[in-house]
Structure 1
């Protein structure tokens, strides 16, 4: 009974919460050491729905964020467990940090802007990827956590933020199988 009341209370808080968030971080002020390490990819919200196709093929994903010493560069290595074959697949990205822009710049993707949102606990981080030009245009918000699980409140807060951003489709990774090793 108490748990049910708590759920309704959280729902009402989020329902009446306005669409204002103050957790956007300028890429140039990112503490590379603080956010380096292992991150679990938990969920994604996007518009249009077609920009989620590659995510729907995943059962789970784990990332390792590593700063490159003496540069404004971050390496992001990902290991993905595919839903159908249960095999692991690797990918790697290089992000450049500019003090002149608010976003991270992904090497080889000149039209892609990546904004960073950090929750106060530093246990979750969100990337908003926007691409307004090129072969594919999309907006997607991705949630990463230091743990492979999230609280019901974190899930509801992410859904609220996605709705505020008019991101109409939300996909939560199933995480049925064990994560790949990274």
Structure 2
């Protein structure tokens, strides 16, 4: 009986360790060591996960989104410009953000929102990147994981990997952009 109980406990321990190990990722890129040339260019916003459905509300109005990431003249800044096609009106909206990069922190800091931190993760070479946005103070609090690709296509395998990572981060709400309309032009 003790041998059977011991075997069962070892089995449960193995499952627990396997579950914990599977949530360990080593693809984080330090913002201070980011190769800005390598990651500059066009990126398609594909899907996101958040800590609540409320955190996804403003993104649900989008059919698709395309971004252009460029290095600014200031050595420690990145400019992210986006074009969003709205689902209902099919119009395009433009937005832009400046990120500060410091060797002192692992994250990028959004200009005008010092309480928001953005971590970078590289997925499958240079074809996909993940951004984890966290804001613990200010007018709203949230955690959002966003998947961007050099192509707007989402494979089933990539979607499952993304959902697993979201689950590991306790992000319970998932949104996949419909991408039923043509992407807006960006250059």
TM-score normalised by L of structure 1: 0.90
Match of 1:79 among 79, 83, 91: 83
Alignment match, 2:8: none
Is 1:118 matched up with 2:138? no
Alignment match, 1:129: 133
Distance in 2, Cα, partners of 1:24 & 1:117: 4
Is 1:40 matched up with 2:44? yes
Shift of 1:98: 0.4
Alignment match, 1:100: 104
Match of 2:173 among 151, 169, 174: 169
Alignment match, 1:12: none
Match of 1:65 among 69, 89, 106: 69
Alignment match, 2:113: 109
Distance in 2, Cα, partners of 1:137 & 1:21: 24
Match of 1:140 among 137, 144, 148: 144
Question: In structure 1, the residue corresponding to 2:179 is in which secondary structure?
Answer: coil
Distance in 2, Cα, partners of 1:63 & 1:27: 19
Is 1:29 matched up with 2:7? no
Is 1:50 matched up with 2:69? no
Cα distance per residue 1:97-135 (max 9 Å; x no partner): 100000001000111000000124110000000000111
Unmatched runs of 5 consecutive residues or more in structure 1 = 1-14
TM-score normalised by L of structure 2: 0.87
Cα distance per residue 1:6-57 (max 9 Å; x no partner): xxxxxxxxx9671110001110010000000000000000012101111100
Question: In structure 2, the residue corresponding to 1:79 is in which secondary structure?
Answer: strand
Q: Whose Rg is larger?
A: 2
Structure 1's consecutive aligned runs of 4 or more residues displaced over 3 angstroms after TM superposition are none
